[in-house]
């Protein structure tokens, strides 16, 4: 209690200083910019996070971090992901589990390579060797990792920051080589052809990021009729049912029935091996008026007719699936090929609805070809010249003279239906500014077919949250083709193979893998570029090193990150494999969840995780994607430290960012924006001020000296503990289910409805007016102490800084120096007393009803403070009557008075209606009458009492206050 400073102009004594006022250093404002880093320094100095994770008694909990790409500033997606992980880890730590969160970064790949290249001049680029590029890329990646790591730390994320995993680390790369090697030795890795973007002008494969699509590209498109030579019996009878009889003889058939296709790359026609249809589309056989039937998509029949400038009359209509099995002959080459079912990429947006399919020259074509066992024919060389496989077109260049010659040949054969120029987006080489083509090249593949069944079984054994994740990954894995894992890039982990210079034979065996792995474990993957074959080959081959050439391909970065289970969760001390949890955005069913699953299943026959949890994406408040052009990007650093204009973008601190993560239902996409942040900061302030009120009233409370036994507590206090127990149960369940938005709602409701507006509202009189050591005050402090400790612990996973700040400001010894050492909050059984629930519920409803009437009086300015009021209540239900009786008979006289709970000066239950009312209400629960209280206002406690003026020393005080002063 502070001393009276005197100097009152007023002659009467001031009673303000005889009240027990709030006293705490825990501020109303968070001052997060300064306070949060202080608290983080405290954790670091004491080693609390890592020590706890190591020394806890419980079993290890392994949340394996999915590596963000080491490029660019942190955004809200990172915040959602890393804070969710941190909430889970902190909760598990407080539950007594061991936790070692190893943060990861994905460091290889084209975007970083391009960043390095873009920062160089043309001359510098030309002088660049692969090893120089790799060194520069590594420097760039390390710098990016450092920047992102600083951001994560500022968010309050706990992790083993001094020992992260980076996909460019030696031991990581060695483990990845091991994964590749094991898959190869098990027969899951093979070399095959696959179409890629190819630039004939620079004679290299290109990645999507190296392409540009200039305006004004025109291609010579052609409509071509392929003569049909054979019909499946089923189709023949279906046509017959529709009255259409087609000849059985091949020659006769080819004269009168043609499959119409359309292509913008006539040079690919020599590589045609099939025509693909969409099995669900309708196709018609249309008479073109010249005694010929054309097969086209029914929906396109009219538009094709007008293009061809001749009527097309549908004679029969069938589904795409019915066309499968038709055989046609190539119009230019001696070759017969089938109609096959393609996929949903076949539409009626353009063309004929039947797609010319050249597996060596298109991705859809390749996939369809793979499905139907077609070879990957690619009669085009590095320079874009047609090879001998193109027959009489050999020697023509596909970007120069091939199209014109082929179109003329089509015309001569009578199969050209129409030629027209077609403007469309077409990929060009970003360096040479020349058009590119699709061309099949030799690539390395992981044969998913070899372990698909095992992968599907593994999926079945994993818990997917939300459950829809299972279907997503299941259908992706069951439908996916083989995994092309090679890239023609420099910044990556090498595919550790050697090619025989003469024969092209491949050296890839246990010996060669072990040798390369050991070299990389010692020196890092740079060794592959630094050393010659003689040093890279195993001793068994070093004598004939001149015969061998090391491969130049690197691995797909998804293979890098997909091997993280091998280099992190299964290798680092104490971590568990399979990991307990993987947690990433829902796009990772296609990405990391899948690549990790495939490598882990291929090597060990098991999924690398037990549970997979996914989250959606951060959108703006209107549900739009964030983009610079829309100006709706929310920057996590601006949330924490404020923007340029701190009025519009105040510094909310990391805890408000974390509170946002907890508040959203992340199973779907989640919104964020200025309005949402304002609301969150209100909630944050409510929790903070409730905590401050609890702390401020505990300044003279020492539990060991002052606490009241639970069994001796008044009903109100016991109810408050019972309520706290219920809320903590629900919060624990929410954490267990990773449903943090429920925690957010429970916390808000507990602080506002249960504490602020009810328990603490009523408690003011007990806390301020009573003598410091009065039981009615000590009992309330007992409850407040029990609650503040548990509240701090329960919010610690989310609001870690505020929780620690509360803990540091608990005025009595707690026995632990950090809230995180206090464990996940539990409650003694004696807190639980279900019998309090029903009557208290009645009384709280009554209180709400009375407050409504009092509020009405206040709004009409008939009443100031509620203590000016007198209230009469007539219960209308027997349950309320029971509750009133219960309170009267079982309640503590000093605390459990309904008059005090209602914050009024006089209360009458039942009796005659009053005459002079300020307001009244007659509802289902009770008749409520409000009048002005009689008596005078006590200067100290503000109650209206009739015994004021009876004490000569304190003429303005009520008898209760006088007796308090006498006891002080
Ligand atoms: Zn008083």
Q: Tell me the average confidence (pLDDT) per consecutive run of 10 residues in the chain, 968 residues long.
A: 42 80 95 97 94 94 96 96 98 96 95 90 87 96 98 98 96 96 96 87 76 88 92 87 82 86 92 91 88 88 86 86 91 91 83 90 89 88 88 89 90 88 88 87 90 96 95 90 85 97 95 97 97 95 95 94 88 82 94 96 96 96 89 94 92 98 96 95 98 98 97 97 98 98 98 97 96 96 98 98 98 96 96 96 97 95 94 97 97 95 96 93 96 95 94 93 89
Distance 959 CA to ligand 1 centre (A): 7
Q: Which residues contact 378 (CB under 8 A, 6 or more apart)?
A: 193, 195, 271, 360, 361, 389, 439, 440, 441
Distance 933 CA to ligand 1 centre (A): 15
Distance 10 CA to ligand 1 centre (A): 19
Q: Cα–chain-centroid distance for residue 153?
A: 19
Which pLDDT belongs to residue 8?
A: 42
The token pair that represents 83 in the structure block = 């804070």
Distance 956 CA to ligand 1 centre (A): 9
The token pair that represents 818 in the structure block = 């950090």
Asked whether 397 and 407 are in contact (CB, 8 A), the reply is: no
Dist CA 106 CA 564 (whole Å): 10
Distance 717 CA to ligand 1 centre (A): 23
Dist CA 892 CA 900 (whole Å): 12
Which pLDDT belongs to residue 13?
A: 59
Distance 763 CA to ligand 1 centre (A): 15
Distance 936 CA to ligand 1 centre (A): 10
Distance 820 CA to ligand 1 centre (A): 43
Dist CA 523 CA 879 (whole Å): 80
Asked whether 82 and 148 are in contact (CB, 8 A), the reply is: no
For residue 125, what are the CA distances in angstroms to 120, 430, 458, 493, 526?
Answer: 6, 15, 46, 22, 19
Distance 8 CA to ligand 1 centre (A): 21
Distance 250 CA to ligand 1 centre (A): 112
Distance 6 CA to ligand 1 centre (A): 22
Distance 171 CA to ligand 1 centre (A): 75
Distance 897 CA to ligand 1 centre (A): 16
Dist CA 560 CA 551 (whole Å): 18
Burial class (CB in 10 A: 0-12, 13-18, 19+), 856: middle
Dist CA 555 CA 106 (whole Å): 13
Distance 771 CA to ligand 1 centre (A): 12
Distance 863 CA to ligand 1 centre (A): 19
691: phi then psi, degrees, rounded to nearest 5:
-65, -40
Distance 957 CA to ligand 1 centre (A): 5
Distance 769 CA to ligand 1 centre (A): 8
Residue 838: other Cβ atoms inside 10 A: 13
Distance 761 CA to ligand 1 centre (A): 17
Distance 889 CA to ligand 1 centre (A): 25
* Owner of token pair 């943060």: 103
Which pLDDT belongs to residue 431?
A: 75
Distance 302 CA to ligand 1 centre (A): 94
Distance 847 CA to ligand 1 centre (A): 23
Residue 651: other Cβ atoms inside 10 A: 16
Distance 908 CA to ligand 1 centre (A): 20
Asked whether 188 and 446 are in contact (CB, 8 A), the reply is: yes
Distance 18 CA to ligand 1 centre (A): 11
pTM (predicted TM-score): 0.86
The token pair that represents 556 in the structure block = 């797909």
Where b means 16+ CB within 10 Å and e means fewer, 946-959 reads eebeebeebebbbe
Distance 762 CA to ligand 1 centre (A): 16
* 3-state secondary structure at position 476: helix
Dist CA 418 CA 261 (whole Å): 11
Distance 770 CA to ligand 1 centre (A): 10
Asked whether 873 and 850 are in contact (CB, 8 A), the reply is: yes
Distance 911 CA to ligand 1 centre (A): 27
Distance 950 CA to ligand 1 centre (A): 12
Distance 945 CA to ligand 1 centre (A): 8
Dist CA 207 CA 205 (whole Å): 7
For residue 642, what are the CA distances in angstroms to 81, 647, 656?
Answer: 21, 9, 12
Distance 33 CA to ligand 1 centre (A): 43
Distance 700 CA to ligand 1 centre (A): 22
Distance 939 CA to ligand 1 centre (A): 7
Dist CA 817 CA 811 (whole Å): 12
Distance 903 CA to ligand 1 centre (A): 13
Distance 965 CA to ligand 1 centre (A): 10
Dist CA 890 CA 476 (whole Å): 65
- Residue of 744, 613, 741, 738 whose CA lies nearest to 91: 738
Which pLDDT belongs to residue 601?
A: 97
Residue 289: other Cβ atoms inside 10 A: 11
* 3-state secondary structure at position 227: strand
Distance 938 CA to ligand 1 centre (A): 5
The token pair that represents 637 in the structure block = 């650093």
Distance 961 CA to ligand 1 centre (A): 4
């Amino acid at each position: 209690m502070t001393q009276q400073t005197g100097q009152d102009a007023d002659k009467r004594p001031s009673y303000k200083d005889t009240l027990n006022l709030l006293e705490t250093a825990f501020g109303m404002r968070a001052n997060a910019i300064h306070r949060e880093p202080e608290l983080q320094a405290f954790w670091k100095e004491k080693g609390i996070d890592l020590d706890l994770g190591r020394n806890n008694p419980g079993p290890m909990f392994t949340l394996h971090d999915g590596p963000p790409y080491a490029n660019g500033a942190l955004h809200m997606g990172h915040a959602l992901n890393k804070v969710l992980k941190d909430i889970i880890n902190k909760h598990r730590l407080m539950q007594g589990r061991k936790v070692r969160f190893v943060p990861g970064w994905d460091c290889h790949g084209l975007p970083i390579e391009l960043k390095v290249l873009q920062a160089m001049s043309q001359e510098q680029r030309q002088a660049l060797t692969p090893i120089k590029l790799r060194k520069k890329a590594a420097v760039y990646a390390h710098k990016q990792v450092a920047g992102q790591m600083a951001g994560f730390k500022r968010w309050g994320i706990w992790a083993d920051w001094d020992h992260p995993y980076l996909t460019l680390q030696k031991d990581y790369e060695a483990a990845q080589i091991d994964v590749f090697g094991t898959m190869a030795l098990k027969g899951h890795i093979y070399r095959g052809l696959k179409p890629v973007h190819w630039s004939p002008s620079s004679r290299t494969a290109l990645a999507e990021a190296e392409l540009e699509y200039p305006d004004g590209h025109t291609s010579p498109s052609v409509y071509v009729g392929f003569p049909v030579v054979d019909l499946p019996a089923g189709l023949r009878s279906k046509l017959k049912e529709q009255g259409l009889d087609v000849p059985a003889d091949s020659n006769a058939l080819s004269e009168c029935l043609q499959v119409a296709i359309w292509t913008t790359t006539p040079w690919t026609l020599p590589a045609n091996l099939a025509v693909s249809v969409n099995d669900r589309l309708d196709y018609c056989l249309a008479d073109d008026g010249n005694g010929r039937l054309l097969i086209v998509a029914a929906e396109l029949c009219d538009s094709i007719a007008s293009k061809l400038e001749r009527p097309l009359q549908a004679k029969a209509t069938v589904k795409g699936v019915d066309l499968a099995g038709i055989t046609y002959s190539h119009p230019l080459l001696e070759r017969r090929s089938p109609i096959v079912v393609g996929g949903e990429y076949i539409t009626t947006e353009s063309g004929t609805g039947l797609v010319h399919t050249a597996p060596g020259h298109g991705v859809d074509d390749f996939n369809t070809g793979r499905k139907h066992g077609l070879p990957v024919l690619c009669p085009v060389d590095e320079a874009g010249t047609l090879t001998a496989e193109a027959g009489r077109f050999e020697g023509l260049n596909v970007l120069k003279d091939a199209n014109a010659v082929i179109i003329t040949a089509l015309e001569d054969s009578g199969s050209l239906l129409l030629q027209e120029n077609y403007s469309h987006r077409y990929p060009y080489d970003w360096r040479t500014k020349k058009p590119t083509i699709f061309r099949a090249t030799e690539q390395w593949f992981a044969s998913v077919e070899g372990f698909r069944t095992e992968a599907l079984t593994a999926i079945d054994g994993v818990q997917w949250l939300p459950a829809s994740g299972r279907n997503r990954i299941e259908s992706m894995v069951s439908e996916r083709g083989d995994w092309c894992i090679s890239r023609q890039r420099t910044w990556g982990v090498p595919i550790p193979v050697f090619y025989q210079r003469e024969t092209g034979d491949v050296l890839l065996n246990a010996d060669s893998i072990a040798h390369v792995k050991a070299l990389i474990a010692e020196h890092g993957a740079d060794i592959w570029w630094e050393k010659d074959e003689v040093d890279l080959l195993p001793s068994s081959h070093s004598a004939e090193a001149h015969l061998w050439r090391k491969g130049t391909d690197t691995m797909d970065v998804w293979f890098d990150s997909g091997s993280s289970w091998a280099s992190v969760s299964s290798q680092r001390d104490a971590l568990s494999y399979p990991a307990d949890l993987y947690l990433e955005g829902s796009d990772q069913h296609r990405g990391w969840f899948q690549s990790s699953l495939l490598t882990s299943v291929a090597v060990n026959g098991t999924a690398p995780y037990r549970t997979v949890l996914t989250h959606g994406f951060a959108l703006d408040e209107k549900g739009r994607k964030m983009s610079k052009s829309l100006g709706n990007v929310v920057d996590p650093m601006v949330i924490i430290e404020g923007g340029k204009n701190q009025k519009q973008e105040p510094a909310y601190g990391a805890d408000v960012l974390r509170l946002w993560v907890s508040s959203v239902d992340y199973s779907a996409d989640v919104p964020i924006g200025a309005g949402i942040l304002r609301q969150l900061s209100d909630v944050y302030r409510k929790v903070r001020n409730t905590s401050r009120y609890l702390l401020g009233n505990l300044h003279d409370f020492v539990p060991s000296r002052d606490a009241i036994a639970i069994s001796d507590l008044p009903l109100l206090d016991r109810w408050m503990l019972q309520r706290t127990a219920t809320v903590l149960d629900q919060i624990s369940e929410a954490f267990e289910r990773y449903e943090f938005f429920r925690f957010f709602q429970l916390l808000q409701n507990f602080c506002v409805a249960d504490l602020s507006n009810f328990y603490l509202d009523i408690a003011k009189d007990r806390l301020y007016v009573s003598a410091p050591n009065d039981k009615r005050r000590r009992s309330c402090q007992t409850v407040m102490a029990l609650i503040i400790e548990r509240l701090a612990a329960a919010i610690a996973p989310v609001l870690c800084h505020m929780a620690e700040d509360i803990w540091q400001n608990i005025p009595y010894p707690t026995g632990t120096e950090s809230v995180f050492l206090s464990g996940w909050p539990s409650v003694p059984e004696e807190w639980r007393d279900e019998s309090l629930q029903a009557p208290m519920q009645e009384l709280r409803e009554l209180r709400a009803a009375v407050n409504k009437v009092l509020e009405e009086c206040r709004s009409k300015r008939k009443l100031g403070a509620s203590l000016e009021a007198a209230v009469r209540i007539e219960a209308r239900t027997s349950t309320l009557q029971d509750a009133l009786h219960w309170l009267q008979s079982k309640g503590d006289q000093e605390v459990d008075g309904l008059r005090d709970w209602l914050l009024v000066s006089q209360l009458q239950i039942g009796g005659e209606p009053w005459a002079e009312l300020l307001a009244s209400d007659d509802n289902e629960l009770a008749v409520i009458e409000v009048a002005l209280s009689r008596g005078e206002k006590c200067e100290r406690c503000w109650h209206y009492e009739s015994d004021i003026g009876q004490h000569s020393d304190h003429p303005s005080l009520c008898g209760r206050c006088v007796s308090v002063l006498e006891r002080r």
